[in-house]
């Protein structure tokens, strides 16, 4: 016999980005002329840079081989990646992290 997973009943019936759009629309109608900085899903207008495309391809190749496959990472992310981000994005800008 097929049974429904009861956890499906706990899901909200609405979509996050639709909720955001509705809230922005309501705010705009109540605050005519207000400047709004949108931090939602974005408006993609440009193609990915070659560095991103290359990195994606490298990542896919790694996932396609047993010897380099990682699967899901730890909850806080892979240490090698966290260290690289800390070095490149923070330490080089004199921000301790």
* 64 occurs within a structural domain: yes
Q: Which residue has the higher pLDDT, 2 or 53?
A: 53
pLDDT at 43 over 80: no
- Evaluate whether residue 89 is within a structural domain: no
The Cα 77–Cα 70 span in angstroms is 12
Collect all residues with Cβ–Cβ distance below 8 Å to 62 and sequence separation of at least 6.
68, 69, 70
pLDDT value of position 41: 67
Residue 33 lies in domain = 14-68
Does residue 25 form part of some domain? yes
The answer to whether the pTM exceeds 0.85 is no
Number of domains, the chain: 1
pLDDT value of residue 66? 95
24 domain residue, yes or no: yes
Q: Does the residue 31 lie in any domain?
A: yes
* Comparison of pLDDT for 21 and 57, the residue scoring more: 57
Neighbours of 86 (CB within 10 A): 14
How would DSSP label each residue in 2-33?
----GGGGGS-SS-HHHHHHHHHHHHHHHSTT
Query: Per the domain annotation, does 30 fall within a domain?
Result: yes
- Please tell me the predicted confidence (pLDDT) of residue 39: 73
Whether 97 is in a domain gets the answer no
* Banded model confidence at residue 45, pLDDT cuts 50, 70, 90: confident
28, part of any domain = yes
């Amino acid at each position: 016999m097929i049974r429904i997973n009861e956890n499906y009943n706990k899901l909200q019936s609405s979509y996050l980005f639709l909720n955001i759009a509705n809230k922005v629309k309501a705010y705009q109608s109540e605050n005519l002329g207000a400047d709004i900085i949108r931090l939602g899903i974005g408006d993609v207008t440009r193609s990915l840079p070659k560095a991103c495309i290359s990195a994606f391809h490298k990542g896919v190749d790694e996932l396609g081989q047993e010897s380099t496959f990682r699967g899901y990472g730890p909850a806080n992310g892979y240490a090698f990646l966290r260290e690289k981000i800390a070095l490149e994005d923070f330490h080089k800008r004199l921000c301790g992290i």
